Amino acid sequence: RRCTIHDGREAGVYVGSLARSLIESCNIYDNADAGISVYGESVVAVRRCNIHRNGKVAVRVKENSRASVEDCDLRGNRIATWETEHGVVVERKNNRE
């Protein structure tokens, strides 16, 4: 909660291998890849975060993972806001994209 994550060589936050995570009120920016990457059947809740100026996407969700993203500012990432694949569940609510 209430953290700043920036200038990473890959994703700012990596959630993988059956992890359960809460990311709340964080500023995640200027990472080379995604702001947040979720893999490996993990579950993440992201609330009230600014995820911007990342090299590829704001949020990536893959490998049967689940993400709930609410009240976040996801604008200004280089390629796209979201990267997902078949089989993932993404709940989006009140985000600025």
Decide: 83 and 59 in contact? Cβ < 8 Å.
yes
- The pLDDT of residue 77 is 99
pTM as predicted: 0.97
- The pLDDT of residue 85 is 97
- The pLDDT of residue 14 is 98
Residue range 22-53, pLDDT digits in tens: 999 999 999 999 999 999 999 999 999 999 99
Residue range 46-76, pLDDT digits in tens: 999 999 999 999 999 999 999 999 999 999 9
